[in-house]
Structure 1
């Protein structure tokens, strides 16, 4: 299963990069940390810009360091919670489902509460008609209760807040590294649904090293596209303009993957998912 979560962590990083609150601001961000203006890049006929790439590299190292330490910390804490691993997995699965619904934009639907009640009614009907057993029924109902609780406490409203302040660091390679650290902390509400899910999986690993490696792989998934964008900045500008029309698809698919992961966690079926050779 660990190899599967590796792949999932990397895919999660790519999804975080493609999220609508990260991808559109990347051109301005890379321009800022490198000190090279976007108009200057558009006028320059060179395909590669070394200054932008090196600044991006330091930027990626900065946020990768933070995410890796977060993974190590999550795994370290997880070691103290092994006695309640089953209960934590079920609650954590509900939280991951909540993150998935957020990422897919479900909370923006006007009739979300009615739809959630409808899902619970469907689960109840499956139990009454003996399609699912009592254990599955209570596990799924518990997950729905977690989603409802977080929703009623307005956690989704916090996640939808946009970051309104920018780091005021002088453009330099050291500055790019510092901004990368700021990015890791400041953009947590934006990529929180994905990052939170990966951190939960990291907390379930047996050792601190495994938790740290998982978040390092997540950083690779997020960082490699950043490096490609920095290396081919002029090409990336055109990509962002064209890709904008697919933001809705990215959100829906990413949310669906997180919801699937949450359900598997609640039902303790990640090992079954791993046997298929896929995962997140």
Structure 2
């Protein structure tokens, strides 16, 4: 489908991890609480109107497209960089695994990395109610949210760098963008119904952070041990229909 084999021993589990990481990024403390007001600004309607059934679908879609554009470019760049280091794959895997485990320890609150406890928001020249403005905001906030979602995003970029292929890296970051974009669109479509769900996640934000930390720590360990290959073969053995995809 994409002109590449996405079901090899490394990319299949990485795609699953990227999708989950995108969803956990959406649930992070600097993203989830500000989704409703951003949707209201971009669409030119109030949060109250959204709760009553007005869905700012177009604004949300273009905002997600803006985010995805940046993530895809980052994935391609990371993969191109990784291609330059193909002769040092083992060393890259070891270093990357250690770094990702450190990110995991941050979320597990074993220690804190100050950079990831702040958010550098950017102002974009966007006009409320404009699809182009929503796209521009998506581009800007992809960078502005980076300090907060940095550990998850860095882990996926590290996986992309190990692929050594621009196409494969772009597919991997597309999965990450999908994990972030689907819940964003769900909020835009079903604000009234999603409000209690968002309130639940806000109350359990610390637990979500710890889940993110455990996931990142596990990813780092798999990088160090070569476990992604074993996991991929296990998936194909127990879910043979996956071999028909792609």
- Normalized against structure 1, the TM-score is what? 0.76
Deviation at 1:165, TM superposition (A): 5.4
Alignment match of 1:74 (pick from 58, 69, 78)? 78
Residue aligning to 2:243: none
1:230 and 2:185 aligned: no
Alignment match of 1:201 (pick from 159, 169, 181)? 159
Count of residue correspondences = 226
What are the Cα deviations for residues 83-117 of structure 1, in whole angstroms up to 9, with x where unaligned? Answer: 11111111111110111112233325xxxxxxxxx
CA distance 1:220–1:164, shift in 2 (3 Å): closer
Residue aligning to 2:200: 242
Residue aligning to 1:24: 33
Alpha-carbon separation, structure 2, partners of 1:160 and 1:244 = 17
Structure with larger RCO (C-alpha < 8 A, sep 6+): 1
Deviation at 1:236, TM superposition (A): 2.3
Structure 1 residue ranges (4+ consecutive) displaced by more than 6 angstroms after TM superposition: none
Alpha-carbon separation, structure 2, partners of 1:209 and 1:228 = 28
1:104 and 2:113 aligned: no
What are the Cα deviations for residues 188-244 of structure 1, in whole angstroms up to 9, with x where unaligned? Answer: 111000000000000111421001110011101110111111111222233222322
Alignment match of 2:222 (pick from 261, 264, 279)? 264
Alpha-carbon separation, structure 2, partners of 1:203 and 1:71 = 8
Residue aligning to 2:241: none
Of stretches 208-217 and 260-269 in structure 1, the one that deviates more from structure 2 is 260-269
SS of the counterpart of 1:170? coil
Residue aligning to 2:141: 183
- Tell me, which stretches of 5 or more residues in structure 1 are unaligned? 109-155
Alpha-carbon separation, structure 1, partners of 2:111 and 2:125 = 33
Alpha-carbon separation, structure 1, partners of 2:38 and 2:196 = 16
Residue aligning to 1:93: 97
Residue aligning to 2:62: 58
- Normalized against structure 2, the TM-score is what? 0.86
Of stretches 162-171 and 191-200 in structure 1, the one that deviates more from structure 2 is 162-171
CA distance 1:159–1:275, shift in 2 (3 Å): same
- Tell me, which stretches of 5 or more residues in structure 2 are unaligned? 1-9, 237-246
Residue aligning to 1:134: none
Residue aligning to 1:6: 15
Alpha-carbon separation, structure 1, partners of 2:31 and 2:235 = 29
Mapping for residues 122-201 of structure 1, pairs under 5 Å = 156-163=113-120, 166-167=123-124, 169-171=126-128, 172-201=130-159
Of stretches 162-171 and 173-182 in structure 1, the one that deviates more from structure 2 is 162-171
CA distance 1:165–1:78, shift in 2 (3 Å): closer
1:255 and 2:244 aligned: no
Alpha-carbon separation, structure 2, partners of 1:60 and 1:193 = 20
CA distance 1:271–1:159, shift in 2 (3 Å): same
Deviation at 1:166, TM superposition (A): 4.5
Deviation at 1:169, TM superposition (A): 2.2
